[in-house]
Amino acid sequence: MRQASIRQAGPQLEVRNLEVRYNGIQALHGVSFKVNRGEIVTLIGANGAGKSSILRAISGLIRFTGDIVFDGSDLGPIPAHSIVGLGIAHVPEGRGIFGNLTVQENLHLATWQRQGKGEVEADYDRVFALFPRLKERRQQPAGTLSGGEQQMLAVGRALMSRGRLLLLDEPSMGLAPRLVQEIFRIIEDINRTGTTILLVEQNANMALRIAHRAYVLETGRVVLAGTGLELSDNPRIKEAYLGA
């Protein structure tokens, strides 16, 4: 994998002073960061640091205080289904596929807000080009797929919504090392087509290798920020997250 060059197209997503509480317990403490158009930005940190809460707030799945702005739109008052319509696609931790539906039916679910059959068919072709195994299994119940194939389906379904910003929550979790390499290669391929990516990932080594920029969270706060290369070389990060 390569260390990607930094994009300079300006912020597509801005998060300012984000705070989230669960049953009175504060999970995020004034988190602020930005994601520029065309970047891969990764959030790293230990379990419970607040990474998934950030993605859920962006998607409208939990209540928050602070500001989240996407392409000039304040996401605070917008319901989750309308946030999808604005161009944000979320692949949650645990994949969230429908096991009783076929691969094709799972992909089709993501097109419910879209118009134009020709464009939808073109996106099926795009997903099947990225994930040939899904094409082979398009009529197979999703619940019978392997873990890696289910992760591919979850990413493919998000792509079918035509999101301009892709939120990925732990895409390598539970996968064999060979499939981890493949998933990260595909993430880079998706980014090269122009899709901005905000990545939450426990595998900090792999995430930093493909990231343009990264933020480190500890107990709900951003404690470090920099390019993927800078953080990979940071002694504190090496000791805490990279096994050095």
Confidence of residue 3 (pLDDT cuts 50, 70, 90): very low
At 162, the pLDDT band (50, 70, 90 cuts) reads confident
The predicted model scores a pTM of: 0.90
Rounded CA-CA distance 157/124 in Å is 10
Residue 133's CB is within 10 A of a number of other CB atoms, namely: 15
Higher-confidence residue of 213 and 97: namely 213
How far, in Å, CA of 32 to CA of 68, rounded?
9
pLDDT at 74 over 90: yes
The residue assigned the tokens 């800078």 is 230
The predicted structure's pLDDT at residue 241: 80
Q: Can you give the residue ranges of every domain in the chain?
A: 1-87+166-174+196-244, 93-162
Instruction: State which fold the 1-87+166-174+196-244 domain adopts.
Output: Rossmann fold (3.40.50)
